[in-house]
Chain A
Amino acid sequence: MKVNRSIEDINEKIRSGKAVVFTAEEIIDVIEEKGIAETAAQVDVVTTGTFGPMCSSGVFLNVGHPQPRIKLNEAFLNGVPAYAGIAAVDLYLGATSLPPADPANRNYPGDFLYGGGHVIEDLVDGKEIRLEATSYGTDCYPRKKIDTSFYLSEINEATLYNPRNAYQNYNVAVNLGDKTIYTYMGILKPNMGNANYSSAGQLSPLFNDPLLKTIGIGTRIFLGGGTGYVAWHGTQHNPSAERAENGTPKYPAATLALIGDLKQMKPKWLRGLNFLGYGATLQVGVGIPIPILNEEIMEFCAVRDEDIFAPIVDYNRGYPQREAGNLGLINYAELKSGMINIDGKKVPTASLSSYAGAREIAATLKSWIESGEFTLTVPAAGLPSVDAGIKLNTMPQRDPEEGEE
Chain B
Amino acid sequence: MVKQKVVLRFPPNIVEQPTIYMLIKDFDLMVNILRADINPRKEGRLMMEISGEEANYQKAMTWLKKQGLSVMNLEQQIIWRSDRCTHCGACTVICPTAALNFERPDMVVRFEEDKCIVCELCLRACPARAMETLVDNSNFR
Contact B86 A336 (CB under 8 A): no
Stretch in contact with the other chain, from A226-234, A270-278, A383-391: A270-278
Find A350's partner among B89, B104, B108 (CB 8 Å cutoff).
B89
Q: Using Cβ atoms and an 8 Å threshold, which residues of chain B touch A337?
A: 104
Tell me the dominant secondary structure on chain B's binding face. Answer: loop
The chain A residue with its CB closest to the CB of B92 is A350
Q: Is A353 an interface residue, CB under 8 A from the partner?
A: yes
Contact A352 B125 (CB under 8 A): no
For B64-93 the 0/1 string (1 means CB < 8 A from A) is: 000000000000000000000011111111
The distance in angstroms between the C-alpha atoms of A242 and B87, with both chains bound, is 31
Contact B90 A350 (CB under 8 A): yes
Q: Is B124 an interface residue, CB under 8 A from the partner?
A: yes
Q: Using Cβ atoms and an 8 Å threshold, which residues of chain B touch A113?
A: 129
Contact B129 A274 (CB under 8 A): yes
Contact B127 A350 (CB under 8 A): no
Find A353's partner among B88, B106, B128 (CB 8 Å cutoff).
B88
The chain A residue with its CB closest to the CB of B101 is A338
B contact residues, range? 10 to 19
Least CB distance from A378 to B in Å reads 33
The chain A residue with its CB closest to the CB of B125 is A187
Q: Is B94 an interface residue, CB under 8 A from the partner?
A: yes
The chain B residue with its CB closest to the CB of A185 is B90
Contact B93 A356 (CB under 8 A): no
Least CB distance from A52 to B in Å reads 8
Contact A351 B94 (CB under 8 A): no
Contact B90 A351 (CB under 8 A): yes
Q: Chain A: how many interface residues by the 8 Å CB criterion?
A: 33
Q: Using Cβ atoms and an 8 Å threshold, which residues of chain B touch A52?
A: 88
Contact A336 B90 (CB under 8 A): no
Q: Is A111 an interface residue, CB under 8 A from the partner?
A: yes
For A259-288 the 0/1 string (1 means CB < 8 A from B) is: 000000000000101111000010100000
Contact B107 A336 (CB under 8 A): yes
Least CB distance from A148 to B in Å reads 28
- A residues 170-201 with Cβ under 8 Å of B? 186-187, 189, 193-194, 196
Contact A349 B93 (CB under 8 A): yes
The chain A residue with its CB closest to the CB of B83 is A268
The distance in angstroms between the C-alpha atoms of A351 and B86, with both chains bound, is 11
Q: Is A247 an interface residue, CB under 8 A from the partner?
A: no
The distance in angstroms between the C-alpha atoms of A357 and B109, with both chains bound, is 12
Q: Using Cβ atoms and an 8 Å threshold, which residues of chain B touch A353?
A: 88
List 21 interface pairs A-B (beta carbons < 8 Å), by A numbering. A51-B86, A111-B124, A113-B129, A186-B90, A186-B127, A187-B90, A189-B93, A189-B94, A193-B93, A194-B93, A273-B128, A276-B125, A283-B128, A337-B104, A350-B92, A352-B90, A354-B87, A354-B88, A357-B86, A357-B87, A357-B88
Closest 10 CB pairs of A and B: A194-B93, A273-B127, A355-B107, A356-B87, A350-B93, A354-B88, A350-B89, A354-B86, A186-B90, A351-B89
Apart from A189-B93, A336-B107, 19 more pairs, CB < 8 Å: A113-B129, A187-B94, A187-B125, A193-B93, A196-B90, A273-B127, A274-B127, A274-B129, A276-B125, A337-B104, A338-B104, A348-B92, A348-B93, A352-B88, A352-B90, A352-B127, A354-B86, A356-B106, A356-B107
